[in-house]
Amino acid sequence: MIADTYQIFMSVLGVFLVVALGASCRRAGWLTPNADRSLANLTAKVLLPALFFDRILSGDRIASLLDAWTPPLFGFTITVIGFLLGLGLARLLGGWMGLKDASSRSAFALGVGICNYGYIPLPLAERFYPDAMVDLILHNVGVDLALWSVGVAIISGGRGQQRQWWRSLISPPLVAVVIAMTLKRTGWVDFVPQPILLATEKLGSCSVPLGLMLSGALIIDFLKDADWGGAIRTIVCAVGFRQLVMPVAILAVATFLARTVQMQQVLMLQAAMPAAIFPIVLVRLYDRDTVTSMRVILSTSIFGIVMVPFWLAVGKWWLGV
């Protein structure tokens, strides 16, 4: 048990070191803000789709349509519940936390409601649970749909919700998943030219490191602009909800509702994660409270260095996976 926990901690620390490298590159001026948009587009529209395409074609986990639809359903449902519970908490304790208006309450709900479902769990799954990679990718499709539908509705007050929903349905990662699943289910994967398979494998291997470095660059930017005055109650509630309440709830779902070991492993990874970084982009897009959003993201990310290995160790012991 101690040896497993040590290995998990070292792997998590390695992931955060890549994040720290991105932050250092920003401070040194090697990764400039002018490059953020192009590199983010490259990662989201080329590298991640290549990773998903490669892992689905090379994996052999999905044996039926039910298996294919279960992970996205879990991802969508748990994320929506997270948003709604986060919004309920913000409305119930908003005054005590210092969330004085709808802008700050919606920013808090969006932040605590969605975990970091991409760049941190993907390398950990590849290291410890490679058989669960396909389930994790499909699960993330459901999380993405929840973010661009219910999440956008919460942060925007309903403005532009339909347009953003359709945006998620035609996103390159989802298109790559659909194409790869179709090839896998029809048996046409054997006809995919070898150079395409090799190219997607090489491109996909770049996605997570680049995404982690970009996350580090964004975090250091947020850290410079963050206002921590009077933030303690917001931080306590954010960490308590995202890294205490939600892990227990998600592990309960994994215990009683997950049908396969791989799905349990995916849920265990998600339970351990801090808040995602991307929601602050939506908060800025809809002119909501970026200060609250930064407090949620930064506090859970910092605590994540300890809480991620803690919950992975607890989940491994509890679920026996």
Q: What is the pLDDT of residues 94-139, one digit of tens each?
A: 889 988 888 899 999 999 999 999 888 988 998 899 989 989 999 9
Q: pLDDT tens for residues 281-299? A: 788 778 888 888 888 988 9
Name the percent of the chain lying above pLDDT 70: 90
The mean pLDDT of 255-280, rounded to a whole number, is 92
- Convert the pLDDT of each residue in 27-73 to its tens digit: 999 999 888 888 888 988 899 889 988 988 887 665 555 567 889 99
Which whole number is the average pLDDT over 132-155?
90
Contacts of residue 7, defined as CB under 8 A and 6 or more positions apart, other chains included, come to none
Higher per-residue confidence, 223 vs 202: 202
pLDDT of the residue at 15: 87
Distance of alpha carbon 9 from alpha carbon 14, whole angstroms? 9
The pLDDT of residue 219: 80
Instruction: Give the separation between CA 223 and CA 266, rounded to whole angstroms.
Output: 30
How many helices and strands, by DSSP H and E, does the chain display?
16, 0
pLDDT of residue 298: 87
What is the pLDDT averaged over residues 167-171? 65
CA 42/CA 74 separation, integer angstroms: 28
Q: Is the pLDDT of residue 161 over 60?
A: no
CB under 8 Å to 12, separation ≥6 — which residues?
Answer: 124, 304, 305, 308, 309, 312
- The more confident residue out of 219 and 92 is 92
pLDDT of residue 41: 84
pLDDT grade for 315, boundaries at 50, 70 and 90: very high
The confidence score (pLDDT) of residue 178 equals 85
Q: What is the pLDDT of residues 3-12, one digit of tens each?
A: 667 788 888 8
Residue 280: pLDDT band (50, 70, 90) is: confident
**pLDDT tens digit sequence for 210-230:** 988 988 888 888 777 666 666
Residue 1's pLDDT is what?
A: 60
CB 173 within 8 A of CB 144: yes
Q: Report phi then psi at 33, rounded to 5.
A: -60, -30
Portion of the chain with pLDDT greater than 90, in percent: 44
Q: What is the pLDDT of residue 291?
A: 85
Under the banding of pLDDT at 50, 70 and 90, the label for residue 166 is low
* pLDDT value of position 215: 85
Neighbours of 208 (CB within 10 A): 22
Q: What is the mean pLDDT of residues 164-176?
A: 70
Phi and psi for 96 in degrees, rounded to 5? -65, -35
Q: State the DSSP code for 149.
A: I
What's the whole-number mean pLDDT along residues 237-262? Answer: 95
Q: Is there a contact between 96 and 233 (Cβ–Cβ < 8 Å)?
A: yes
pTM: 0.87
Across 149-171, average pLDDT: 69
166 to each of 74, 150, 170, 276, how far by Cα in Å? 20, 13, 7, 22
Inter-residue contact 255 to 318 (CB < 8 Å):
yes
Instruction: Label each residue of 118-162 as H, E or C.
Output: CCCHHHHHHHHCHHHHHHHHHHHHHHHHHHHHHHHHHHHCCCCHH
- Determine the pLDDT at residue 152: 87
Report the C-alpha gap between 208 and 228 in whole angstroms: 30
- Cα distance between residue 24 and residue 217, in whole Å: 8
